[in-house]
Amino acid sequence: MFFLSNGHISPVWYSVLARSGYFDPKELATFRKLNSRLQGHPATHEGLPGIRVASGSLGQGMSVAIGAALAKRLEGDTRQVYVLTGDGELDEGQCWEAIMFAAHHKVDNLIVTVDWNGQQIDGSTQEVMSLGDLPAKWTAFGWEVIHLEKGNDLEEVVAALEKARKHSSKGKPVVILMRTEMGYGVDFMQGTHKWHGKAPNQEQFDVAMAQLPVSALGDF
């Protein structure tokens, strides 16, 4: 079971759902249009298959996931619950309540991955609300912490998830702190918050696509 807590990266989630057979990939072209089921944050009232819980406002996803993990424990289901959250989202106090709760109740079938890119909608996380020593915080809260320095490398991500699975079911929830770079691969988007919710024009799109690896997925 997977929960997308940082729901503003919904285009990625929608793409995964479409290619997993939940709906026709052609519907991806309706993203954020009026009356589309594919809005900026995934929600339930559009009736989109694969979306069971709304992921906004930010901060709620981890709490919902912990509830699901506890339900699995009661039902004797040994499978893990996965959550993806963002570092900017960790400004929310509810996240830290959930982090504390999960450790206290030894929710060890829970694996959280933090997209640690240092950016949020209004600027860098350092400027908006410094997170301090993030690894030390998670450790102090009683979690098993895994560091992933190359979060834009999918092979490294898969390896980190496999490592997390080996650490699960041992009395502690597990977190992967995944160092990433926003806009990775496109020189004018990389490392800045300015493209957080902004679409490129046609010229910018063409430049960006020329810099990215050739895709056979057909979204473009």
Condensed to tens digits (0 to 9), the pLDDT of residues 87-106 reads 999 999 999 999 999 999 99
CA 153, 149, 58 angle in degrees (round to 5)?
Answer: 85
Condensed to tens digits (0 to 9), the pLDDT of residues 3-42 reads 999 988 898 899 999 999 999 999 999 999 998 999 988 8
Q: What is each CA distance from 141 to 46, 59, 175, 209, in whole angstroms?
A: 37, 17, 11, 42
Indicate the average pLDDT of the chain: 91
Indicate if the pLDDT at residue 195 is higher than 70. yes
Residue 18, both tokens: 């479409």
CATH superfamily of 2-179: Thiamin diphosphate (ThDP)-binding fold, Pyr/PP domains (3.40.50.970)
Pick the more confident residue, 15 or 119. Answer: 15
Report the percentage of the chain scoring pLDDT > 90: 68
Average pLDDT over residues 61-85: 95
- The predicted structure's pLDDT at residue 87: 92
- The predicted structure's pLDDT at residue 123: 79
Report the percentage of the chain scoring pLDDT > 70: 96
Amino acid at 216: A
Helix segments in the chain, DSSP class H: 10-19, 61-75, 93-104, 125-129, 134-140, 154-167, 202-211
E strands, 31-95, are 81-86
Q: How confident is the model at residue 167 (pLDDT cuts 50, 70, 90)?
A: very high
Amino acid at 44: T
- The predicted structure's pLDDT at residue 126: 85
- The predicted structure's pLDDT at residue 15: 92
- The predicted structure's pLDDT at residue 218: 55
Indicate if the pLDDT at residue 111 is higher than 90. yes
Q: How confident is the model at residue 215 (pLDDT cuts 50, 70, 90)?
A: low
Average pLDDT over residues 156-181: 96
- The predicted structure's pLDDT at residue 220: 46
Condensed to tens digits (0 to 9), the pLDDT of residues 122-160 reads 878 888 888 999 999 999 999 999 999 999 999 999 999
Indicate if the pLDDT at residue 56 is higher than 90. no
